[in-house]
Chains A and B, each alone.
Chain A
Amino acid sequence: MNRRDPRPALCDPPVSKRRGGQSLAICLATAFVAAPSADAQATNADAKVTRLQRAQQTVFGAALEAVAPSIVKIETIGGALPVEVNPEGIAAPRPARPGFRQADGPTTGVVWTADGTILTSSFNFVRDPAIITVTLHDGRRFVARLVARDRPGRLALLKIDCDDLPVPRRVSPADLRPGQWALAAGFGYGSRTPALSVGNLSALHRMSGTAVQTDAKISPANYGGPLFDIEGRVIGICVPRAGDGGEDEIAGVEWYDSGTGFAVHVDFIELRLPRLRKGSDLQRGLMGIVVDRRDPVVGSPDNPSPTGDRRLGLAIRSEPRGPAADAGLRPGDQILEVNGDRIERWIDLRRALARRAAGDSLLVKYRRGETVATTRLTLVSEAALAAVPTSQPG
């Protein structure tokens, strides 16, 4: 598309921050530019462009206003940065990430239920603070209890004694598409209103399927805050890179403001919520196997099918440990299904495990030679498998 042509340029800002087409933008464009003829005057088109842009910014502001009553400011007092003992035996604050030191400014959370459940990011509580306060949109301030953390999901659940909280509307990843507007907001910079960033949805199933990706500016200023659509519906909770960074709650902060940001989506949150509400900290659940991470090579001896459908499942490579060993799995076994979900590639298993946590029970269907069998095992935490340094399932 020729960007200097005023007509198609309507949804195509020519400058460094390109915005994807989105249903509302298109519908606005249609409303403002009813069937432009090829000889439309440039000045006429410019006036329409300006009107469209005014409409856009009005909509951004309205989206923020729609979700703002459910965005809370979190402040913490006390606590210390995690300490680690260096090889010389001297304890020092752990350098979270090269060049990054956790600040102690305000952070952000999102009302999740009317009866006092606040969702936020575990990033905000690395210091294990003595006191956590939550300030609502209406100015009321509460002391909050940190009920539980979801370490792999980078989430944390707070509870305050209040039962009339405004719950935001939400939108599931199934109703989202890459390229649509995505907005993030948070109190991290100490502003009176939540600081807003506008971008696109870049991808839907990131971080083992737990998060969506956006080019809105995600940073400590909005970790724990909402990512929302142009209608003010919450897409997810902004977090530093989730899902793949093990238990380190700060992993991913080095990508802040880079245009590559993440938000744990509402479906994953709903999956985790029952256990978080009961006060269980969630940890990554491991099977104790090492699998073949390579994607099938079409036409190889292992996989003669030209369609790449090897129907062999995912091969266990070395001697299983922990739960997998206890369940009787052996090297060479082909995992076919986990709790009924078909496993063909490494990413399938990775996503299946990311949805679960240590302590969850799995029904594993596998093939050994010509026989297909099922076995049950219970996922364990990384710490429980610590004696087996090579175990990196999924």
Chain B
Amino acid sequence: MRLRLREAALLIAACAGPASRALDTDEANTSGPFGRAIAHARARVVKVHGAGYGSGVVISEDGDILTTASVLLEGRSLRVVLPDGRSLPARVSRRDERRQLALLKVEALELPHFELSSSAHLRPGDWLIAAANPFKVAAGPEPVSVSVGVLTARTNLDARRQAQDFPYRGPVLLTDVLTTAPGSAGGALVDIEGNLVGLIGKRVISKRTNTWLNYALPVEELRAFLAPQEHRSDPVAAAAVDPREWAVTDLGLRLLDFGARDRPAYVERVRAESPASRAGIKPNDLVMTVNGERAGTCAAFYAALRKVPAGERIRLVIKRGEDVRPIEIDPEPSTP
């Protein structure tokens, strides 16, 4: 069956005319700045058309295409336009709700494709080239748009879409290439050699700055998505709380967690004979940091606490009046 499909695809491709003819020979010229990297990337980035439009990258010679998980994939007709101009029906073969990635499959053979290697060699300031189809300006077989910038930094994503938190909170590559135009998501970010280093992510707003974020999922995360054991996300497991982690009640302190949206982490009450009281924490203390991490709000305090393994000493910095002082909380002797 599969073979027959392939044959059919080849036949369609053959009937569709000289698919491999470059549309604009000047565009295919690999000389000049970034020339080879651009040509390499453009030959491996596709346009995705469904209930909307986006970009994708070819990662196997027989039609595996990576893109971002999006409502555009829900359209009744999902099509991919290859760099050689062929427009092929596509189906979603795998999804990752956490990373917001999707794997598409088209029936095609011998496609130029990206190798998924590594982004570890990149340093801040290294040139990066984005190849994608923002605003779907590239029509039909026209090559996708390229844009040049640098690697800005690496960080962990902390973002939202509209009012919703973005589920992926792992490592991302930040860039000063503008990648937030509609249609760019799913496009390639390559280095000056043309190696795929990241996949342009969905449009998100950084919660740290409240600005649109220009970023890509590093190729390591793409590999993890494709690894066999990870092909289905488990929202239940992801949401489950590690039973060994600290709970605020174990410390014996309660925060004044009431009222405004970003509530400062003021201590409301300290239980007698608790780890918090033994450490000398008093009501009205304002918690500033937990183990060196900023914890100025109640939410940040809880989040920081969750990262501390049970039974480990916790270092706080608190503000009492005008005084800023470090405080260490020793855990309760473990009770079975």
Contact = CB atoms under 8 A, between A and B. Distances in A.
The yes or no verdict on A and B being binding partners is yes
Interface of A: 3-4, 6, 9-10, 12-17, 42, 45-46, 49-50, 53-54, 56-64, 75-78, 80, 100-106, 130-131, 133, 141, 143, 183, 188-199, 216-217, 219-221, 256-257
B127 interface: yes
B178 to A, nearest CB: 7
B207 A64 contact: no
A226 B150 CA distance: 17
B201 to A, nearest CB: 14
Contact of A198 (B123, B150, B213, B324): B150
B288 A77 contact: yes
B226 interface: no
Interface stretch (B82-90, B91-99, B152-160, B228-236): B152-160
Instruction: Enumerate the 9 nearest inter-chain pairs by beta-carbon distance, A residue then B residue, closest first.
Output: A105-B208, A60-B125, A77-B296, A191-B153, A61-B125, A195-B153, A197-B176, A103-B210, A191-B155
Contact of B210 (A17, A57, A100, A133): A100
A309 B152 CA distance: 48
A78 B174 contact: no
A13 B147 CA distance: 10
Contacts of B30: 46
B148 A103 contact: no
B212 interface: yes
Given A50-B192, A60-B150, A189-B206, A13 B124 contact: no
A96 to B, nearest CB: 10
A117 B296 CA distance: 24
Contact of A15 (B129, B209, B324): B129
A349 to B, nearest CB: 35
A15 B147 contact: yes
Contacts of B29: 4
A103 B38 CA distance: 36
B126 to A, nearest CB: 5
Given A15-B38, A103-B208, A220-B209, A130 B264 contact: yes
B153 A103 contact: no
B74 to A, nearest CB: 28
Given A106-B294, A195-B174, A189 B33 contact: no
Interface in B21-35: 26, 29-35
B195 interface: no
A16 B146 contact: yes
Interface string B165-188: 000000000101110000000000
B75 interface: no
Contacts of A100: 210
Contact of A196 (B125, B146, B208, B294): B125
Nearest to A189: B155
Nearest to B125: A60
Contact of A63 (B125, B214, B262): B125
B32 A6 contact: yes
B155 A190 contact: yes
Interface residues on B, range: 35 or more
B36 interface: yes
B145 interface: yes
Given A15-B38, A15-B148, 4 more contacts: A189-B213, A196-B150, A198-B176, A221-B209
Given A13-B33, A105-B206, A189-B208, A4 B38 contact: no
A143 B35 contact: no
- Identify which of A3, A45, A102, A105 gathers the most chain B CB atoms within 10 Å of its CB: A105
B149 interface: yes
Nearest to A259: B178
Contact of A102 (B31, B158, B210, B296): B210
Contact of A4 (B32, B153, B155): B32
Interface string B120-155: 000111110100000000000000011111111111
Given A57-B126, A75-B294, A80-B260, A105 B319 contact: no
Contacts of B145: 16
Nearest to A5: B32
A328 B35 CA distance: 67
24 contacts: A4-B31, A14-B32, A15-B33, A16-B146, A17-B177, A57-B123, A57-B127, A59-B125, A76-B296, A103-B211, A104-B262, A104-B296, A105-B208, A106-B208, A188-B206, A189-B153, A191-B155, A192-B153, A193-B153, A197-B176, A217-B214, A219-B211, A220-B210, A221-B206
A12 B192 CA distance: 15
Contacts of B36: 46, 50
Contacts of B123: 57, 61
Contacts of B32: 3-4, 6, 9, 14, 46, 49
B286 interface: yes
Contacts of B192: 50, 53-54, 57
Contacts of A102: 210
B280 to A, nearest CB: 19
